[in-house]
């Protein structure tokens, strides 16, 4: 009788390897790896963390509606996603709006510099600072604000808004009585170097 060769048997460890690989692949597909992004916002002019006012963050997703958040008390923002990138808009009443795009990397935290909106800061200073030269203050404010600017104050306790013409706003802001003392800018927009929209409230 002819001699029959015995078939080589596949070792058990090979089947264990195949099974383990299949389980890992299935888990990876069903439960994708998540990335955590961490950003801390720095005032570009002062090189200091922005902690005195929250930075508005709008996370832009390709397949979902934008997500709105704010930086925390330390001036930082955290975001966890299954995507390997993040794209978001940063804005505040005293800083310029900017769009940030980052790809996931090994760094756990990144410092992002935000440009200051000099006009908004100057307006805040004029309203709350102790400036004795009222005439020059009015002149500078007039040069900052467009003649047809939309200016309105958000009244407390849900009472609505109060509209201001440019001249009325400047006169009210620069009189010694300072009826608009301690204003807080909510939103400001500029066009061709002039403020065309200003929204504010008076802090109690």
Q: Is pLDDT at 141 greater than 70 in this prediction?
A: yes
pLDDT in tens, 15-35: 666 777 666 666 556 666 778
Q: What is the per-residue pLDDT across 38-89, written as a single tens digit (0 to 9) for each?
A: 999 998 888 889 988 889 999 997 777 889 999 999 999 999 888 888 899 9
d(CA 131, CA 113): 30
* CA-closest candidate to residue 51, choices 86, 102, 94, 80: 94
**Centroid of chain to Cα 196:** 22
Mean pLDDT, the chain, whole residue set: 80
% of residues, the chain, pLDDT over 70: 75
pTM of the full structure: 0.62
Question: Is pLDDT above 80 for 152?
Answer: yes
Q: What's the Cα-to-Cα distance from 136 to each of 105, 109, 143, 165, 176, rounded to whole Å?
A: 51, 44, 11, 20, 14
pLDDT value for 49: 92
Q: How far apart are CA 18 and CA 96, in angstroms?
A: 55
H/E segment holding residue 200: strand 194-202
Query: Is the model's pLDDT at 3 over the cut of 60?
Result: no
158 touches 201 (CB < 8 A): no
Q: What is the pLDDT of residue 31?
A: 60
The pLDDT of residue 14 is 62
d(CA 27, CA 22): 9
The pLDDT score that the predictor gives to residue 133 is 63
Model confidence band, residue 165 (pLDDT cutoffs 50, 70, 90): very high
The per-residue pLDDT for 72 is: 92
């Amino acid at each position: 009788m002819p001699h029959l060769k015995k078939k080589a048997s596949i070792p058990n460890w090979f089947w264990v390897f195949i099974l383990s690989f299949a389980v890992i692949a299935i888990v990876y597909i069903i439960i994708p790896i998540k990335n955590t992004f961490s950003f801390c916002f720095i005032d570009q002019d002062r090189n200091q963390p922005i902690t005195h006012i929250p930075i508005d963050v709008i996370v832009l997703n390709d397949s979902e509606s934008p997500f709105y958040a704010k930086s925390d008390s330390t001036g930082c923002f955290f975001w966890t996603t299954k995507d390997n990138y993040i794209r978001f808009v940063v804005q505040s009443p005293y800083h310029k709006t900017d769009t940030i795009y980052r790809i996931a990397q090994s760094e756990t935290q990144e410092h992002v510099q935000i440009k200051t909106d000099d006009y908004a800061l100057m307006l805040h200073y004029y309203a709350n600072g102790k400036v004795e030269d009222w005439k020059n203050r009015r002149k500078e404010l007039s040069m900052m604000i467009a003649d047809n600017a939309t200016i309105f104050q958000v009244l407390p306790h849900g009472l609505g808004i109060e509209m201001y013409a440019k001249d009325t706003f400047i006169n009210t802001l620069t009189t010694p009585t300072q009826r608009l003392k301690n204003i807080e800018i909510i939103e400001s927009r500029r066009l061709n170097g002039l403020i065309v929209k200003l929204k504010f409230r008076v802090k109690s």
